[in-house]
Amino acid sequence: MTSVTLVRQIRARPGIVFDLLSTAEGLTHWWGPDAFPVSSAEADVRVGGRYRVRFRTADGLEHECAGEFLEIEPPSRIALTWQWASGGVPEERGRASRVEFHVRPCDAGTELTLVHANLSDAASEASHRGGWAGALDKLQAELERAA
């Protein structure tokens, strides 16, 4: 069941994209919600191996994501668990969710699909039944206009 899905077309071959997803060195180049650099990344890239990424956000706070690799199929697929080890979203602490990357060749080069699932059972169930996310966004925008 899906909560957040994003798709990107990248003008690069799948092997280059897969390396950025599956090496500690690769992870340091992109992980995080804003332009701040990753402070450290460790990754024991094998099924059952752990990873840990520490990064800072624009508000100056340190965060750490950690988890375990569940599936590694070069060059097309990686699945891992995600947990906030420190910082992050307080109400999510202690909960593991699942992140999947699908890497596919396409005309542009690579199509990368990210799925972050099981953020909340009710949320994924709701989005599975379909269609509420768009309506919710619209409603939210209307509420903000009204405020």
Partner 1 sequence: MVCHMANYHSEPLDRAFAALSDPTRRAMLARLERAPGLSVSALARPLAIKLPTVLKHLDVLSQAGLVRREKQGRTVTVSLTPEPLRAATEWLTRYERFWSHSLDRLTEVAETREADAAQAEAEAEDKA
- Contact set with partner 1 (CB under 8 A): 3-4, 6, 8, 10-13, 16-17, 20-21, 29-35, 67-68, 81, 83, 89-92, 94-96, 109-110, 112, 114, 116, 119-123, 125-126, 129, 131-133, 135-140, 142-143, 146-147
Residue 136 C-beta: closest distance to partner 1, Å: 6
Token reading at 88: 């992050």
Token reading at 128: 């599975």
Residue 140 C-beta: closest distance to partner 1, Å: 5
Residue 22 C-beta: closest distance to partner 1, Å: 12
What ranges make up the beta strands (E) of 22-76?
A: 38-43, 50-56, 62-73
Place of tokens 């910082």: 87
Q: Which is nearer to partner 1, 106 or 139 (CB)?
A: 139
Q: Which is nearer to partner 1, 42 or 140 (CB)?
A: 140
Token reading at 98: 């699942």
CA–CA dist 90, 96 (Å, integer): 13
What ranges make up the beta strands (E) of the chain?
A: 2-10, 38-43, 50-56, 62-73, 77-86, 97-106, 109-117
Q: Which is nearer to partner 1, 6 or 46 (CB)?
A: 6
Q: Which is nearer to partner 1, 7 or 73 (CB)?
A: 7
Residue 19 C-beta: closest distance to partner 1, Å: 8
Phi/psi of residue 46, nearest 5 degrees: -160, 160
Residue 128 C-beta: closest distance to partner 1, Å: 9
CA–CA dist 8, 27 (Å, integer): 17
